[in-house]
């Protein structure tokens, strides 16, 4: 069972500052400190056109296909999600590696499967993601999968600089 219990907003003020603190570590080349759990996404602001950075939790690292999967913890309201909807050409910094990528939103069906897989591997983290988004869910595979209907999941697929669309 899954139930929406609160309408959450992205953090502001001090909480926003704390959430953005790891960006400085990534800029110093210290992203490896976060192991394989987080990455820094550099994207272009949809209004200003300026480069923006956000730290995202890695839902899955698909090394065989050179892709990372991330979820929008604030749902459709996330600025980074809105920005990549306008310009999907991004840069990913993972550990000490940085590379250009294309952001692709998964279908609801694929998002459900990613959330199910993530919940099987990291049930406590998935439960926290649900709480952040204002959902109360049972710790069941059916609920993990159902959460994928509400959580946008994005594939960040590495590309060579010359292979970007329009580039």
For residue 150, the enclosing domain spans: 2-158
| Strand partners of residue 62 | 67
pLDDT tens figures, 14-56: 888 888 889 989 988 888 988 888 999 999 999 999 999 999 9
Residue 117 is assigned to a structural domain of this protein: yes
**Is residue 23 packed enough to be buried (19+ CB in 10 Å), middle (13-18) or exposed (0-12)?**
middle
Instruction: Give me the CATH number covering residue 128.
Output: 2.30.110.10
Residue 163 is assigned to a structural domain of this protein: no
Contacts of 147 (CB under 8 A, 6+ apart): 2, 115, 119, 126, 129, 130, 135, 137
Residue 166 is assigned to a structural domain of this protein: no
Number of domains in the chain: 1
Question: Hey, how many other C-beta atoms are within 10 angstroms of the C-beta on 143?
Answer: 21
pLDDT tens figures, 62-89: 999 999 999 998 888 889 999 999 999 9
Q: Model-level pTM?
A: 0.89
pLDDT tens figures, 145-164: 999 999 999 999 999 866 65
């Amino acid at each position: 069972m899954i139930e929406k219990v609160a309408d959450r907003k992205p953090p502001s003020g001090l909480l926003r500052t704390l959430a953005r603190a790891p960006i400085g570590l990534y800029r110093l080349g210290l992203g490896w400190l976060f192991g394989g759990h987080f990455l820094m996404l550099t994207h272009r602001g949809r209004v200003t056109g300026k480069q923006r950075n956000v730290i995202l939790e890695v839902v899955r690292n698909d090394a065989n296909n050179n892709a990372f999967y991330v979820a929008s913890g604030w749902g459709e309201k996330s600025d980074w999600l809105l920005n990549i909807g306008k310009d999907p050409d991004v840069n990913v910094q993972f550990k000490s590696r940085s590379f250009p990528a294309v952001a692709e939103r998964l279908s609801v069906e694929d998002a459900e499967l990613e959330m199910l897989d993530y919940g099987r591997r990291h049930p406590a983290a998935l439960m926290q993601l649900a709480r952040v988004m204002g959902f109360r869910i049972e710790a069941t595979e059916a609920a993990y999968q159902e959460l994928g209907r509400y959580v946008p999941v994005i594939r960040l697929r590495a590309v060579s600089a010359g292979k970007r669309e329009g580039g």
